């Protein structure tokens, strides 16, 4: 749907380098609404902590609010929603590599901490004084 919109609002670039002065024109109200939503969502994330919600619930809520906020900023404030798919894909697909990296490191660090607990004991050594003279 938004692509037709895009076609309507974008007269093609008047000039190769100058871009298009007709550019992004949307009613100011749209920005105010998004602004409001960002406030609301931030408040929600804050309340998650305020009420001390823990466990899976906490994670789900945090991530959901985070993604919603990120989505609003990228789609509306950064005008991604009105860009053509060519640009959208070029920007949104590569971070997949990062997500894969994150998944890898999640497994890796779980493995590390498991090893540490198994071989070094679960609790850190506190009674041994650490020599701080070096450094």
- Binding to another protein, residues 67-126 (CB under 8 A): 69-70, 73-74, 76-79, 82-87, 89-91, 94-95, 97-98, 100-102, 104-113, 115-125
Number of residues that bind another protein (CB under 8 A): 93
11 binds another protein (CB under 8 A): yes
Among the residues of 2-94, which ranges form H helices? Answer: 2-9, 28-50, 55-72, 85-92
Options 56, 60, 62, 81; binder of another protein; rule CB under 8 A:
62
Selected binder of another protein within 17, 55, 56, 57 (CB under 8 A): 17
46: contact with another protein by CB under 8 A = yes
DSSP letter string, 72-101? HIIIIIT-GGGS-HHHHHHHHSTHHHHHHH
Output the furthest CA–CA distance in the chain (Å, rounded): 73
SS3 16: coil
Q: Which of residues 25-44 bind another protein (CB under 8 A)?
A: 25-26, 28, 31-32, 34-35, 38-39, 42-43
Q: How far is the CB of 56 from another protein (least distance, A)?
A: 13
Place of tokens 């100011």: 28
Residue 60 interacts with another protein (CB under 8 A)? no
How would you classify residue 123: left for phi > 0, otherwise alpha for psi between -120 and 50, otherwise beta? beta
């Amino acid at each position: 749907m938004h692509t037709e919109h895009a076609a309507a609002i974008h007269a093609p670039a008047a000039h190769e380098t100058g871009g298009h002065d007709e550019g992004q024109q949307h009613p100011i109200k749209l920005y105010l609404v998004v602004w409001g939503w960002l406030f609301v969502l931030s408040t929600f994330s804050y309340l998650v902590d305020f009420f001390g919600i823990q466990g899976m619930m906490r994670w789900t809520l945090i991530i959901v609010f985070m993604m919603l906020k990120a989505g609003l900023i990228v789609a509306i404030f950064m005008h991604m929603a009105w860009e053509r798919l060519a640009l959208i894909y070029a920007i949104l697909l590569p971070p997949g590599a990062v997500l894969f990296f994150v998944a890898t490191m999640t497994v890796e660090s779980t493995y590390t901490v498991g090893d540490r607990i198994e071989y070094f004991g679960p609790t850190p050594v506190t009674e041994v004084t650490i020599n701080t003279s070096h450094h």
